[in-house]
Amino acid sequence: MTRRAFLASAAAAAQTAAPARPNVVLIISDDQGYGDLSIHGNTHLQTPHIDRIAREGAQFTQFQVCPVCSPTRASLLTGRYNYRTGIVDTFKGRSMMDPREQTAAELFAAAGYKTGIFGKWHLGDNYPMRAHDQGFGESLVHGGGGLSQPSDPPPGNHYFNPTLLRNGKFEKVEGYCTDIFFREAIRFIEQNQARPFFLYLPTNAPHTPLEIADEYVAPFKNKGLDDTTAKVYGMVKNLDDNVGRLLAVLQRTRLEANTILIFMTDNGPQQPRYVAGMRGLKGTVYQGGIRVPFFLRWPGKVAAGAKVDRIAAHIDVLPTLLDACAIRPAQPPRFDGRNLMPLLQTPAAAWPDRVIHTQWHRGDQPQIFRNHAARSQRWKLTNGTELYDMQNDPGETRDLATAQPGEVARLRAATEAWFADVSSTRGGYAPPRIYIGVPEENPTLLTLQDRRDEPEGWEVDVRAAARYQVTLLFKPTVADGEARLSLGKVEEARPVRAGAERCMFDSVAVAAGETRLAARVMVDGKPVEVRYVEVRKLNG
């Protein structure tokens, strides 16, 4: 029977038979720490539905990610260290992923899966780096790193009734952001019961700003918690409620037994609160910043209540899923991660030790050992100088570097080899370029999310020599001034009147090629920040 005939047969049978290959639902929340779950000992917060995924599946108790979001997401979707992909940071043009990377969505789509993303992408807002450019057949996402951030469309955004991007087009959507993303995910599941699907559900909650309905906050305020913690826990409670709705839909559609369901988070908490005895928060490579929950439920395939204490990481997820779904790419990526299926099937299986690397800091390119951790099963080298025995000191309280110089030397050598390897992948850390003048995105909206600092501007690739209309948007000026545009060999200026909020360069002849777009507004010798630049290729 052909695949088309199989799908038709399944639909005709009222979708009572599950597809042969398992579905995948991958949920990842934003800035939710290891301690933000009742299953991990939080006495103020009850998360019964997320806890259920853990209890009915496997828990990896030593799961590592990056200290911030974009790097974790790049590794998660490629199975490769983020430095290979072009992702070095979270903004200022440092969180755009090289479009040549093969994503989970592309690999699953090539294998016949329906693919959808609902939530946070954060790997590029412009062509050719958007989610629907990188394999997702359906996408409803916000820009940049979150709502109420510089990537918002003019005039801004909020967690309630946000303007989102549906397959690249702006759309005002009613509701609370997490409710919206789960609502769309549930619709996607219901519409794709007759064929396997890969559903990526990355929420922006509980990331700041901490916007959530008062009804979710009040119970935690009544417990005497401070306002910040109460709002975070309210956002997590809302997330847990939505996970419960998704679980119910999987059960109702009879897809539960044939669906791999994963819950994880992208890094540790931003604000101080319960962290299950770990040191550090988001942004650090101590355990509080990089150890996160990772639960995988697959009824009948993974034993309920299994606990795996072997170190694992974001880079392992894609290789594991491809094996579980029997997907064999013709040209597989060079994965840094391992297939975890042997541990999922037998948690006590023999498992060779390895070193997992985690690093992040601000700047255009990484510096070896700066905010870096090299972790083996027992030992962890932090910042190239601190050594911790993770079996006997999980709280990282005693630096044993002086007592264990051999381990320090071994992990430093491993780091030096790793750093040289990942740094050579793309020949350096120059960012991918945003395409200008392409039918896939015209006009192109540039935001502060991707503007570089030194020199200031956006790295672009003008794909067609043509005339362009370039519009600068900025805060109202307090006096007359001047707007300046630099694009390739074009250098132009226009007067700006007091109170103006935009300036249009209506017909600019631009040559094709890689270049930088820079835009400035000067008033009384002082710059006025240009928040958006819209570049439209004109006809003819």
Confidence (pLDDT) at 20: 78
Architecture of domain 356-424: 2-Layer Sandwich (3.30)
434-537 matches 24-345 in CATH topology: no
Give the chain's end-to-end CA distance (angstroms, integer).
50
Q: Residue 475 contacts by C-beta under 8 Å, 6 or more apart in sequence?
A: 501, 528, 529, 531
Confidence (pLDDT) at 356: 98
Query: What DSSP designation does 430 have?
Result: P
Amino acid present at 498: A
Confidence (pLDDT) at 435: 98
Confidence (pLDDT) at 540: 54
Q: Kindly give the pairing relationship between strand 356-359 and strand 372-375.
A: antiparallel
Confidence (pLDDT) at 175: 98
For tokens 């790793």, name the residue: 418
Superfamily of domain 24-345: Alkaline Phosphatase, subunit A (3.40.720.10)
Q: So where are the chain's domains?
A: 24-345, 356-424, 434-537
Identify whether the C-beta of residue 276 lies closer than 8 Å to the C-beta of residue 37: no
The domain defined by 434-537 folds into Jelly Rolls (2.60.120)
| pLDDT beneath 70: ranges in the chain | 1-19, 540
What's the token pair of residue 316?
A: 């392992």
Q: Alpha-carbon distance 297 to 54, whole Å?
A: 7
